[in-house]
Structure 1
Amino acid sequence: MSATAPSDLIRIPVGTAETMREIAILVRPASASNDNAAFVWLGGYRSDMTGTKAVELDALAETLGTECIRFDYSGHGVSGGAFRDGTISRWLEEALAVLDHTKPKSVVLVGSSMGGWIALRVAQELKKRGGSPKVEGMVLIAPAPDFTGELIEPHLTDEQRQSLAVNGYVEEPSEYSSEPDIYTRDLLEDGARNRVLTGIIETGCPVHILQGMNDRDVPYEHALKLMEFLPADDVTLTLVRDGDHRLSRPQDIEKMRGAIMGLINK
């Protein structure tokens, strides 16, 4: 995670009283003549807005003259708050607060891993509000909707379940960090309240899913399952035979850029 805050960082308060935390945002303004939908980066679990894909999204926005909005969830990157307090509801609240603060008229949501779940929930919540800002499209990279109940809980050992009951959390070795991944009881219970793979998901926009077939964190079968819940949308699935969970290689970035360009040129 990034330890240094850029000088043009915006910080906004989210929550009240004991739930108050400061969320860090980076906004690349659109050029005067550009009215494309703003790109909004929704990162994954324990990732931040300075990761490879987020930075490449910002670079594409610069090339196109398009607005780009990046932020760190609480407990991530340079935002405030404790990581162990994080839940899907909490991070969803922050994503919506960022949109309320930046006020784009329309957006393309680019969600990676857990960010794919957040993107789907953001679309649902914006629809309840009346659809502002309008979601023009989504690019979901190795999306992990419902990962707490679908990919974590079924594989917990008896010892880990005991740790959840007694300590309120469980730790697992991380492939990407020397620090273990931490899954709290609150995160798992809140994940159940935010499930989306329970019926038809109507995003109201085109969706392009990029999924590696060598993904050991989110199996490609999970992307196939997600497609079953998106029958009302124009959905494209690109399977990358040798792609892993990160999909951050130059050839993967080109696929991300191509998926975004395909959406804004529809």
Structure 2
Amino acid sequence: MASNVTSPEHAADAANEIAGRLAVGEGAAMREIAYRLRRSGARASAPTIVWLGGYRSDMRGTKAEHLLAFAARHDYGYCRLDYSGHGESGGDFEDGTIGRWTEEAAAVLHEIGRGPLVLVGSSMGAWIALNLVRRAERFGVEERIGAMLLLAPAPDFTERLLLPKLSAEQRKEIEANGRLLAPSDYSDEPDVYTLSLIDDGRANLVLDGLIDTKCPVTIIQGMADPDVPYEHALTLVEHLPHHAVILSLVRDGDHRLSRPQDLDLITRSLSELVRAADDMG
């Protein structure tokens, strides 16, 4: 993993966020990753909450903005980023894979310093978070992750959630064309799934064994989620051997988990996890 920093934009807002860009990769694989960082004003050792968004989402979404307000209110660090091909970052979306996006997240974590981290992964972002933990030595984040909050987690979604739903015709299409277009419930544009995303997903599976996070994990999952069935969250719990694992099922919660009551549950859960990570500092 190669990276170098371009000059930050130094555009601070009322929550003291600074926008920056980070070059990741080399040669034709180089792409600029946009991130925003808020540092604690009072304590250099305060935990940093890290937002890891989902497939085709960006760092300006409802939950990401809500967590910025939470971090500012309690003076915690906060970092959010757009993966390549997403939001404000460079790169082609169809070049994106789980391994590539994990590499980008790791590069940003290196850039923001050495303090304790609380990873908040939403949907595919939970897979990125778990991939960082499962391969912590490879990505250089050993001993830094103090807690994890996983929202509607979709680890291994290409293998366990996407492929089983594809028809024989769709499988032939993705094999023949290297990509598949599918209607999206969240955008006028279709979702794009590439053969490289699926192949790389197999190389980055996390539910093929135990995932020793060495830190507390809280999972929030809607039982009315049409994209990630709550049984998938139960499967994830079976792979987490750490004793401090909490699963909160929201009976009428959907995949977004963005209603006021959902956001309240998220911040209440996050408060406990940040305090646990603070003990590392």
**TM-score bucket (shorter structure):** over 0.9
Measure the CA separation in 1 of the matches of 2:43 and 2:107.
27
| 1:199-241 deviation line (CA, Å, top 9, x unaligned) | 1110000000000000000000000000000023410000000
Contact 2:215 2:242 in 1 (8 A): no
How far the C-alpha of 1:35 sits from its partner, in A, is 3.0
Between the two proteins, the alignment pairs up a number of residues equal to: 262
Give every structure 1 segment of 4 or more consecutive aligned residues whose post-TM-superposition deviation is greater than 6 Å: none
How far the C-alpha of 1:133 sits from its partner, in A, is 5.5
Contact 1:107 1:133 in 2 (8 A): no
How far the C-alpha of 1:37 sits from its partner, in A, is 1.3
Give the SS at the match of 2:192: strand
Letter in 2 for 1:110: V
Residue 164 (str. 1) matches residue 168 (str. 2): no
Q: CA 1:185–1:6 in 2, change beyond 3 Å: closer, same or farther?
A: farther
- Among candidates 98, 103, 123, match of residue 133 of structure 2: 123
| 1:25-51 deviation line (CA, Å, top 9, x unaligned) | 100111123633100000000001000
Residue 204 (str. 1) matches residue 197 (str. 2): no
- Among candidates 53, 56, 66, match of residue 46 of structure 1: 56
How far the C-alpha of 1:20 sits from its partner, in A, is 0.4
Q: CA 1:111–1:179 in 2, change beyond 3 Å: closer, same or farther?
A: same
Q: CA 1:16–1:129 in 2, change beyond 3 Å: closer, same or farther?
A: closer
Measure the CA separation in 1 of the matches of 2:134 and 2:262.
28
- Among candidates 195, 198, 201, match of residue 191 of structure 1: 201
Contact 2:10 2:20 in 1 (8 A): no
Which residue of structure 2 aligns with residue 155 of structure 1?
165
Measure the CA separation in 2 of the matches of 1:264 and 1:104.
16
| 1:67-106 deviation line (CA, Å, top 9, x unaligned) | 1001000000000001010000000000000011111411
Residue 22 (str. 1) matches residue 32 (str. 2): yes
Measure the CA separation in 1 of the matches of 2:213 and 2:34.
27
Contact 1:39 1:107 in 2 (8 A): yes
Give the SS at the match of 2:135: helix
Measure the CA separation in 2 of the matches of 1:36 and 1:30.
6
TM-score by length of 1: 0.95
Which residue of structure 2 aligns with residue 239 of structure 1?
249
Give the SS at the match of 2:49: strand
Measure the CA separation in 1 of the matches of 2:157 and 2:97.
12
How far the C-alpha of 1:130 sits from its partner, in A, is 6.5
Contact 2:106 2:141 in 1 (8 A): no
Contact 2:149 2:218 in 1 (8 A): yes
- Among candidates 96, 102, 110, match of residue 100 of structure 1: 110
Which residue of structure 1 aligns with residue 14 of structure 2?
none
Measure the CA separation in 2 of the matches of 1:139 and 1:181.
26
- Among candidates 121, 143, 152, match of residue 111 of structure 1: 121
Measure the CA separation in 1 of the matches of 2:210 and 2:142.
21
Q: Unaligned 5+ residue runs, structure 2?
A: 1-8, 12-17, 277-281
Give the SS at the match of 1:175: coil
Measure the CA separation in 1 of the matches of 2:196 and 2:138.
25
Q: Using the TM superposition, name which of 216-225 and 158-167 deviates more.
A: 158-167
Letter in 2 for 1:176: Y
TM-score by length of 2: 0.90
Letter in 1 for 2:218: H
Contact 2:57 2:86 in 1 (8 A): yes
Contact 2:257 2:263 in 1 (8 A): yes
How far the C-alpha of 1:159 sits from its partner, in A, is 1.4
Contact 1:36 1:264 in 2 (8 A): no
Give the alignment's Cα RMSD to 1 decimal.
1.5
Which residue of structure 2 aligns with residue 261 of structure 1?
271
Residue 62 (str. 1) matches residue 105 (str. 2): no
Give the SS at the match of 1:63: helix
Measure the CA separation in 1 of the matches of 2:237 and 2:179.
31
